[in-house]
Every structure is written in structure tokens, then in C-alpha cells.
Structure 1
Amino acid sequence: MVVESGINRLYALEPWHIKESLRTYELSYLVGFEVQRSQVSLEEAFLEAKKTIYNNIYLAVKLDIGGDEQRIGHIYTNYQQITFKYIYFVTCLADFLTEIASFR
């Protein structure tokens, strides 16, 4: 049995259509729900984001070059005026165990 971490299950829900979905925060959004603070520091999250960004840039460069084989010598990225926003994603991640089976 393979056990996935919660973060891997969240990645499986991508893509998040963020531009179309963002709304101004209202306290009523969280009423009746259990809420957790971020379990990842801002620095850790930024490192993870940079990996994802790099992979997307690498793929874009590779597709732009085209052909059967590409040689990408270097990709240089420069981050400026970095900001962050708290975005609440309402998700339901639960495991259910019954006498018959386990559901995820």
C-alpha cells in the first residue's frame, strides 16, 4: 500500500484556476470548518515554488526549441520585488476506514 502525503494529494488537484477564482477574504468562508495554519515556512514554500517555476520554464524552453533533441546550456532566472499573499484553498482531504475497506 502506497501512502501519499497530504501535499501530494493537493498537487493531484491541480490546476487551480486562481485568476478566475480569487475573492476578497470574508470570515464567513471559514465558519464551521477546521482550519490549519501553514505547516511550511515562507522560505520553504518559496524554494518549492522556485522548483516548480524552473520546471515550467525548462519545459517551455524545450518546447520552444523543438526537434528531437535539445541541448539547454543554461537557464537564468531573476526574481525581483517578491511578495506573497495568503490564499485559502478549501479542500476536503479525508481517509475513511470501515470494516470492509479503506477510502481516500
Structure 2
Amino acid sequence: MTGPAQIVAELASNAVTHGRVPGRDFRLALSVTPESLLIEVTDPRGDRIPEIREAGYGLVLVEALANRWGVREGPVPCKAVWAEVSLASASRGAAIRRAQGAS
């Protein structure tokens, strides 16, 4: 699984596990520019703001794979957890992996 796919999986899993309200789903939005990919997962639990904890590794993984990440509150009662990945560094990493595989 690639970095952006791992971030999507982790943020979606967190929304299902920690942001669930019966009868309401989460929303995944992806925005692409030539420089970056913005991953945003919105859930209906604005009262539960995620933070990195010792007990879990999910947001540690997001922090390691994303260039930036954070939480945006609203619209009430929702929150959105977002992560931004540089496409320049992603393509550079892919080129390095291809070069290493050719050696």
C-alpha cells in the first residue's frame, strides 16, 4: 500500500471507529494540485478531536507519511481530519525505488 492509500485507510478507519454516530456516515474528499494531494475525512463527531496518543499508532503513521496534517472543526457538529502529501516528493520516492530495483 502506498503512502496516500495508507493515510486514507487510517483516517477512514479512525472515522468509523471514533467518529461514528448511528445513521450518519463519514465523507472522504481528495483534492489534487500539481504539487500536492489533500486527503480530508469528515465525520459527525466534532466533540472528539483526534490527537497522537501512546496507545495508538494510526496518527503516528499519518504524521510520518504526510507533509502536514491537522483537524478543522465544523460545520457543527462535524470535524474534518486532513493530511497533505507532496506529489513532488512522492514521485521522487517512486523514482528512487525504481532505480534501486534496477541495480
TM-score range, shorter chain: under 0.3
TM score, norm. by length of structure 1: 0.26
Larger RCO of the pair (alpha carbons < 8 Å, separation 6+): 2
